[in-house]
């Protein structure tokens, strides 16, 4: 695919809501003109032509990536497409380090590109209210204590550095097309926020953690005691929620290796997106990821991420 073909593909996805017909991204006016602007490369001095649009109403100029997650992009359309495709191909994601090698770009570029698309993935799922039978569970990652060399010194060592542990939770609808909502926090925090995440008719499947007791008064709850069994003959289990964390931990241990607590929810969101769309082909997942990023406003967190320290110093 040539760069121009990739740009046309971006255009089709960016303006999918109007059947591929470009509209003004600033005032939504449907009448826009196609224009080209000559841009000189400061380093090489070569002149290239940029394809732009100009609005008939507000007269503002914009490109196909203006006002999206790829706003003020530096990478070519081809590389953004390739990166998203390679990332979608990975069953549990793709490390930025590997993407760097595949794209032949800087590690920071690959890492930031992943986070921008991840941001679109997470906000796609935000604000939804789950319904019907829902399985929920929590887990903790990070803070593992390195075992002492001498066996005698290992006695009494704690299993985790509790100040470094990140707690994550998940809510997952039962059924093949069940939706998944990632949550940053432990059981108690999830229970406090439960009414924003589920509707009034929800039914819960939980394990024996005491924090779930607060749910009993508000919803129908079925509890499975893991000390006795993982599932009973009535179909009570939290196996779907456990399987979500199984995937998440493989992603954490096998692909990304480590991430700071401040980024944990971004990875939780990515995992939930992959789990929810696991039935789709990788091509469909790729289109969904790219469309999501192209219809998402520029992320305030990631835009200018590496320039931020410089901005503060100035």
Query: What is the three-state SS of 85-146?
Result: HHHHHCECECCHHHHHHHHCCCHHHHHHHHHHHHHHHHHHHCCCCECCEEEEEEEEECCECC
Q: Which stretch, 49-57, 73-81, 82-90, 237-245, contacts Zn ion (CB under 5 A)?
A: 49-57
> What track of x and - describes contact with Zn ion for positions 50 through 79 (by CB under 5 A)?
-----x-xx---------------------
Residue 300, judged by CB atoms within 10 A of its CB (0-12, 13-18, 19+), counts as exposed
Closest separation in Å from C-beta 58 to Zn ion: 3
Which residue, 3 or 21, has its beta carbon nearer to Zn ion?
21
Residue 137, judged by CB atoms within 10 A of its CB (0-12, 13-18, 19+), counts as buried
Closest separation in Å from C-beta 298 to Zn ion: 18
Which residue, 25 or 171, has its beta carbon nearer to Zn ion?
25
Which residue, 56 or 145, has its beta carbon nearer to Zn ion?
56
Rounded to whole angstroms, the Cα distance separating 25 from 29 reads 8
Q: Is 26 in the site for Zn ion (CB under 5 A)?
A: yes
For residues 169 and 190, is the Cβ–Cβ distance under 8 A? yes
Among 29, 75, 165, 280, binds Zn ion (CB under 5 A): 29
Q: Pseudo-torsion of CA 12, 14, 19, 23, nearest 10°?
A: -120
Which residue, 261 or 297, has its beta carbon nearer to Zn ion?
297
Among 24, 117, 241, 290, binds Zn ion (CB under 5 A): 24
Closest separation in Å from C-beta 11 to Zn ion: 17
Among 200, 196, 197, 217, which Cα is nearest to 136's? 197
Closest separation in Å from C-beta 161 to Zn ion: 53
Q: Which stretch, 4-12, 26-34, 38-46, 68-76, contacts Zn ion (CB under 5 A)?
A: 26-34
Among 27, 31, 97, 193, binds Zn ion (CB under 5 A): 27
* Contact footprint for Zn ion (CB under 5 A): 24, 26-27, 29, 55, 57-58
């Amino acid at each position: 695919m040539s760069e121009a073909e990739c740009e046309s593909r971006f255009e089709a996805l960016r303006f999918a809501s109007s059947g591929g017909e470009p509209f003004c991204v600033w005032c939504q006016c449907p009448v826009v003109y196609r224009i080209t602007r000559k841009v000189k490369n400061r380093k090489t001095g070569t002149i290239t032509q940029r394809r732009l649009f100009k609005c008939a109403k507000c007269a503002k100029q914009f490109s196909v990536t203006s006002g999206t997650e790829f706003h003020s992009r530096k990478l070519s359309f081809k590389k953004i497409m390739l990166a998203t495709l390679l990332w979608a191909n990975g069953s549990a994601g793709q490390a930025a380090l590997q993407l760097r090698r595949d794209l032949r770009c800087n590690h920071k570029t690959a890492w930031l590109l992943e986070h921008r698309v991840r941001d679109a993935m997470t906000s796609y799922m935000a604000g939804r209210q789950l319904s019907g039978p829902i399985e929920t569970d929590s887990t903790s990652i990070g803070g593992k204590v390195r075992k002492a060399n001498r066996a005698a010194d290992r006695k009494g060592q704690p299993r985790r550095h509790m100040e470094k542990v990140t707690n994550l939770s998940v809510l997952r609808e039962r059924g093949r097309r069940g939706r998944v909502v990632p949550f940053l926090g432990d059981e108690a925090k999830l229970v406090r926020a439960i009414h924003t995440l589920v509707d009034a008719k929800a039914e819960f499947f939980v394990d024996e953690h005491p924090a779930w007791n607060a749910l009993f008064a508000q919803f129908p709850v079925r509890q499975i005691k893991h000390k006795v069994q993982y599932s009973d003959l009535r179909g009570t289990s939290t196996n779907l929620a456990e399987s979500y964390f199984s995937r998440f931990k493989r992603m954490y241990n096998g692909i990304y290796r480590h991430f700071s607590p401040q980024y944990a929810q971004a990875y939780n969101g990515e995992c939930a997106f992959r789990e929810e769309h696991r039935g789709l082909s990788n091509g469909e997942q790729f289109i969904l990821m790219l469309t999501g990023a192209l219809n998402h406003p520029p992320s305030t967190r990631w835009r200018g991420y590496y320039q931020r320290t410089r901005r503060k110093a100035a």
